Amino acid sequence: MTKFLLAVHVLAAIVAVGPVTVAASMFPPAARKALAAPEDAGAAGTVRLLHRICQVYAAVGIAVPVFGFATAGAMGVMGDPWLIASIVLTVLAAGVLLVLVLPRQEVLVEGRGARETTVQLAMFTGMFNLLWATVTVLMIVRPGSTTGA
């Protein structure tokens, strides 16, 4: 059962977090392009699509920690420092996405933002991506773990 849970956890991370990471990274330059050419319906459509991808996959991303907790429980590593650090960083990443990234995207989709908003958004998106990269490394390396690596 542990291998199944781990496989679903990893697949959920790839399928859910990957698209959010890519779409969120593509959003600021797409929004700058849309701001520079407000008459360009294609640019505005791209911005709306990227925002929708981020929203949908952020919701789907709930599966990642759900299966992560199930996997950790099955492996008996719930108290391991690498896992606790990963949980904290995951909560921070989710907070950055929900509080700092998605609301700024919404402002830009609604046409209320300016170039400065895209700069802030790029910074917060970078923070989000860095947090997820760190979680990924912790999941692979698992410092101090007795279960492998």
d(CA 78, CA 65): 13
pLDDT score recorded for residue 149: 47
pLDDT score recorded for residue 125: 98
User: For 43-56, b where at least 16 C-beta lie within 10 A, e where not — what string?
Assistant: bbebbeebbebbbe
d(CA 8, CA 41): 39
pLDDT score recorded for residue 145: 64
Spell out the domain ranges in the chain.
2-141
Provide the mean pLDDT of the chain.
Answer: 93
pLDDT in tens, 116-149: 999 999 999 999 999 999 999 998 888 766 655 4
Per-residue 3-state assignment (H helix, E strand, C coil) for the chain = CHHHHHHHHHHHHHHHHHHHHHHHHHHHHHHHHHHHCCCCHHHHHHHHHHHHHHHHHHHHCCHHHHHHHHHHHHHCCCCCHHHHHHHHHHHHHHHHHHHHHHHHHHHHHCCCCCHHHHHHHHHHHHHHHHHHHHHHHHHHHCCCCCCCC
Stretches where the chain sits below pLDDT 50 are 149
Give the pTM.
0.90
pLDDT score recorded for residue 143: 79
pLDDT score recorded for residue 146: 61
